[in-house]
Each structure stands twice: as C-alpha cells, then as structure tokens.
Amino acid sequence: MSNTEPGFTVIDKRGTNRAEETAVVIEPDAPKTGKRSWKGAVEYLSIPKPTPTGMLMAVQAVGLRDDGSLFTADYILPPILPKNFDWKSVVTKRIDSYLACDCSREIGTCGMHQQYERQWMEQDAQRLNMFASQPVPECIEVMVNLQRQKQPKVVLAKGPLPPKK
C-alpha cells in the first residue's frame, strides 16, 4: 500500500484547476505482518474531537485485540470533505498497526506508537491546514452567508442589572 494520499485538485485564485503534485505523506510505514488479530470486527464511530482550531469531527476506529487489549485510532475529518475521500483505509491502517507492536495493558503505549501517535496528530493538522488554504466552494459560501443572516441579533440589556440576591 502506498504511504501517500493521492494528490488533490487545488483551485487557485484565478479559478484555474491544477493538480497538486505534492501528495501529503500521511502514514509512516507500519509493520505489514501483524503478530495478532482483532477479536471480531473493527468498528468505526464518528466523534467530536477538540483540535487547535476548535471542535471537529473525527472518525474513530475501535478494535479489541485477541489478547483483550482495546485500541482506538482517530482521524480528524476536514470540515469540507474532498471528493474521493477515503478516510476508512487511513484509519484502518492506523488501528491495524496495533496488531504488530508491543503495546499492552502492562507496558502501555510502545515506543513505536508514541512516535506514530505524535505523527498522526501532525499529519491531521497538516492536512487541515492545507484544506483551510483552499477556496471555499461557492455553494458552501452561499449557505454560510444565509445562515449568518438567520442568526438572531445580539440584544444588549438596557438599564441597571437586577439586584443580586
């Protein structure tokens, strides 16, 4: 499996489409051969996740390893989902890396995953920054403007505040 995300199309300010040639490296090479397996299937949840830019949605893979250890792996979703967006293979690759490592309830997080987990956060942040730098599609812009107009105006209280009890 490739360790890069496919390049995506950037629409520059002149409105010209150009393929972005610099694909983002998203995952370190995880060991291919898992020593272990999942009990049952890996499940996927959508969860709110705090990020430096506020609360965003993330996909969380949840798996129970055959030794009874529980693992989760998150992947932060950009607010506007790119076309052909394959979150599942990325987050599955992340959680599957726990099948071939020394993480355990006794040891805790292994050295490899201390490194990976930091890289995953950096990679998600890098991806979000890149999406944020792209122009907002017109339909989204129109929708956001309409929503703003519907928001109730802030009314400031007039007169003295009620006495404290």
- Give long-range contacts, CB 8 A cutoff, 24+ apart: 87-93: 87/59, 88/44, 88/59, 89/1, 90/5, 90/26, 90/27, 91/44, 91/59, 91/60, 91/61, 92/42, 92/61, 93/1, 93/27, 93/30
Supply the minimum distance, in Å, between the C-beta of residue 125 and Zn ion.
21
The whole-angstrom separation of Cα 27 and Cα 72 is 16
Q: Which is nearer to Zn ion, 110 or 125 (CB)?
A: 110
Binding site for Zn ion (CB under 5 A): 101, 103, 110, 113
Look up residue 37 and give its DSSP letter.
-
The whole-angstrom separation of Cα 59 and Cα 74 is 6
Q: Within 13 Å and on the Cβ side, how many CA atoms surround 10?
A: 13
Q: Which is nearer to Zn ion, 77 or 94 (CB)?
A: 94
Supply the minimum distance, in Å, between the C-beta of residue 95 and Zn ion.
11
Supply the minimum distance, in Å, between the C-beta of residue 5 and Zn ion.
23
Q: Which two tokens stand for residue 40?
A: 């049952």
Q: Which is nearer to Zn ion, 97 or 123 (CB)?
A: 97
Supply the minimum distance, in Å, between the C-beta of residue 98 and Zn ion.
6
Q: Which is nearer to Zn ion, 61 or 77 (CB)?
A: 61
Supply the minimum distance, in Å, between the C-beta of residue 114 and Zn ion.
8
Q: Which is nearer to Zn ion, 65 or 127 (CB)?
A: 65
